[in-house]
Chain A
């Protein structure tokens, strides 16, 4: 039988071995560093983006509605190109405003819904909702709220109107990549932007608001 002295000598060694085994068992995957919850969210978001990249299902009616949307967009892009050819690329704020003024004058009768036609509104709302609703879309909603002028400026001070200027000095909300992958592609001169929940078609060169779709995004709560 072991005496007390030899048991006492072995105890620290056993403790050390036990601790080493524990350390080896609890290893963080190399190159990671995020907690388990963050890693899980990252995996869910990656799957969501992969699905968005494959393209959304659309009915024939929806495809037709988006085709007409694209016609309106192409018509605008032609107008933009003609005016840039005449006035030059706006390298200064003054030139940007001059281009915006010329564009607005050329489409003086433009109204909301000229490009986001009524038949395309439900399609846009559905496509956007698919990317912004649900727990897997938390990152997308947070992204959209960052720099969103409704969020970063007092309510009521951002007035949107067709042929108006995108608010000078106002930030731009980042458009979640999954939304961009899902919505119909645009020519280089046009961007989708969100102001609050409104989807705005913005001439990114002239800073001109080309069309608006109210309540395009679902509730953007992130809590």
Chain B
């Protein structure tokens, strides 16, 4: 065989080997050495700060790894609370399971006084609503406020936590009543099943969208967080300018599950991830971080109905 041919074969083989994935399909790569953590959030005085996790409750190594990243980022960005997007405890939920799948991985945050607000997913025992550390007040759906006079920079954020597994009439009537009576400048909803998602396993919940989206548009909800699909996806603004997120890779990942879709503003399905959010004035800053501490998405969303600030005008040349 000629040397040139051997040389070409070697080059092609090398290129082929370099293109192979570093993990077997369907597995999660081991956590590499932590990358330098970069915080993109402004940390403004008086802001409302929280984290977002979904589909966490496996008790698996990935959940613990991600929880460690959350604790590490919390040192620089002390978020006051976490919203949990359902499938909080998957499988058995005896006291030992609650410890393994929630209390132990998030112990550093719990010890630091971080409050967790959960919603139910389709894998959750409905009686999780009585579990003290999920702060659901014994209800399947509930609302709570953050900011306001305690944090005047924000003017108040009202959260609407829903049970998307069972969208019955009493819940919908409650939601409309709550939305219509809220005077908070920021209105945010979170629940398990995404109204918009490019996840191949589940995708968009169209019937839920038909019921909830008109309410969100009518009452000017600004952003919505959901889980269920085990990926990260920021959806392009939809009707009413509402930005939807899927953040369902808090403990389980469906690697490669994101389909090519015109819905996606940014997607990440190579590893588990969580989000951090900071609301200050009319701006909501977000940062999505992977299990290895890499920032996979970040940016800012302007509050519903508030125009973006004009760019500063260039002074005329003298």
- Complex Cα gap A41–B203 (Å): 13
Which of B21-29, B86-94, B143-151 interfaces with chain A? B86-94
A89–B263 contact, CB under 8 A? no
- Complex Cα gap A143–B122 (Å): 11
* Residues A31 and B261 in contact in the complex (CB < 8 Å), given A143-B207, A172-B165, A185-B168: no
A33–B236 contact, CB under 8 A? yes
Q: Say which residue of B126, B165, B169, B170 sits within 8 Å of A174 (CB atoms).
A: B165
The digit string for B122-135, where 1 denotes a CB below 8 A from any CB of A, is: 11011100111000
Q: Which residues of A have CB within 8 Å of B262?
A: 28, 32-35
Within 8 A of B (CB), among A144-168: 146-147, 168
Q: Is B177 an interface residue (CB 8 A)?
A: no
Q: Which residues of A have CB within 8 Å of B92?
A: 168-169
* Residues A41 and B206 in contact in the complex (CB < 8 Å), given A33-B236, A89-B138, A174-B193: yes
Within 8 A of B (CB), among A2-44: 28, 31-35, 38, 41-42
- Complex Cα gap A180–B164 (Å): 12
Q: Say which residue of A35, A49, A173 sits within 8 Å of B211 (CB atoms).
A: A49
B131–A91 contact, CB under 8 A? yes
Closest Cβ of chain B to A140, distance in Å, is: 6
B206–A42 contact, CB under 8 A? yes
Q: Is A129 an interface residue (CB 8 A)?
A: no
Which residue of chain B is the closest to A180 with respect to CB atoms?
B168
Q: Is B3 an interface residue (CB 8 A)?
A: no
Q: Is B276 an interface residue (CB 8 A)?
A: no
Closest Cβ of chain B to A210, distance in Å, is: 14
Closest Cβ of chain A to B317, distance in Å, is: 30
B127–A90 contact, CB under 8 A? yes
- Complex Cα gap A154–B93 (Å): 21
Q: Is A98 an interface residue (CB 8 A)?
A: no
Q: A168-B92, A174-B122, A175-B166 are in contact. List 17 more A-B contacts (CB 8 A).
A: A28-B262, A33-B261, A34-B204, A42-B210, A45-B207, A45-B210, A46-B206, A46-B210, A91-B131, A92-B95, A93-B127, A147-B122, A147-B123, A172-B123, A177-B167, A185-B168, A205-B126
Rank and list the top 3 A-B pairs by shortest CB-CB distance, nearest first. Answer: A147-B122, A46-B210, A91-B130
